[in-house]
Chains A and B, each alone.
Chain A
Amino acid sequence: DVKVTQSSRYLVKRTGEKVFLECVQDMDHENMFWYRQDPGLGLRLIYFSYDVKMKEKGDIPEGYSVSREKKERFSLILESASTNQTSMYLCASRSSAAYRVGELFFGEGSRLTVL
């Protein structure tokens, strides 16, 4: 069974802390994504990665960075957490095959609360 695993389901951090959210996929997918999900706003793309060591900004990259050192792992970093980053964070992966480009596989999400 294919799987995208996010390291933490729930985190509570303080303002100013550095936060790492980890995501691992076992499907050998080239593309990986980080979204945040907020009520009434749906899913918004933070960053994505086409391949190892490659990254592209999404719609809301401010305050975030990412790292992709290995194909299966994509990390989201909040350098200095702020309360407006309290949210549900969703990682997803996707094959680069043309006929599957819209088919994302999601992890269960990481709910981050910043106090």
Chain B
Amino acid sequence: GDSVTQMEGPVTLSEEAFLTINCTYTATGYPSLFWYVQYPGEGLQLLLKATKADDKGSNKGFEATYRKETTSFHLEKGSVQVSDSAVYFCALYLTGTASKLTFGTGTRLQVTL
């Protein structure tokens, strides 16, 4: 079945460090891909998305490029801040799959001063 695999956390970085969180997917068709973020004590919120191959989603300094050849959608940020500390979820959506998103297990990011 369709699935999303994320790198295990926690990821601990110093402020201003470069961030990569890996995400790969398995899907029978051509999914749309998403990154959601969950700040402490809050629900998830959409961070960025890409709907077709080679699309780049971006928001709040974060970027991710839809790579069909490697079935990946890695999240990157050039310079993280303490306020980026959160859990990040990669997700995919396939048309016709009863309208549901398939989420990865989440990656916790901790940014320290």
Q: Which residues of A contact B93 (CB under 8 A)?
A: 101-102
**Given known A42-B89, A42-B106, A43-B89, contact A104–B44 (CB-CB < 8 A):** yes
> Known contacts A42-B89, A42-B105; is A106 also within 8 Å of B43 by CB?
yes
Q: Which residues of B contact A92 (CB under 8 A)?
A: 43-44
Kindly provide the distance from the CB of B76 to the nearest chain A CB, expressed in whole angstroms.
20
Known contacts being A48-B99, A56-B98, is A41 close to B41, with CB within 8 Å?
A: no
Given A42-B106, A43-B89, residue A106 in contact with residue B45 (CB < 8 A): yes
Contact of B91 among A4, A56, A102 (CB under 8 A): A102
Q: How many residues of B contact A (CB 8 A)?
A: 22
Decide if B100 touches A108 in the complex (CB within 8 Å).
Answer: no
**For the side of the interface on A, what is the size category?**
20 to 34
Complex contact B43–A4 (CB within 8 A)? yes
Specify which of A45, A101, A108 is in contact with B43 (CB 8 Å cutoff). Answer: A108
Q: What chain A residues lie within 8 Å of B73 (beta carbons)?
A: none
With the chains together, A27 CA to B103 CA distance in Å? Answer: 23
Bound Cα distance from A33 to B103, whole angstroms: 14
Asked if B104 and A42 sit within 8 Å, CB to CB, the answer is yes
Residues of A within 8 A of B91 (CB): 102
Contact between B49 and A40, CB atoms less than 8 A apart = no
Bound-state Cα–Cα, A70 to B101, Å: 23
Please indicate the chain B residues that have their CB under 8 angstroms from the CB of A45 in the complex.
100-101
Shortest distance between the CB of B6 and any CB in chain A (Å)? 8
User: Which of B24-73 touch A at CB < 8 Å?
Assistant: 32, 34, 36, 41-46, 49
13 intermolecular pairs with C-beta atoms under 8 Å apart: A42-B89, A42-B103, A45-B101, A48-B98, A90-B44, A92-B44, A101-B32, A102-B34, A102-B93, A104-B36, A106-B44, A108-B41, A108-B43
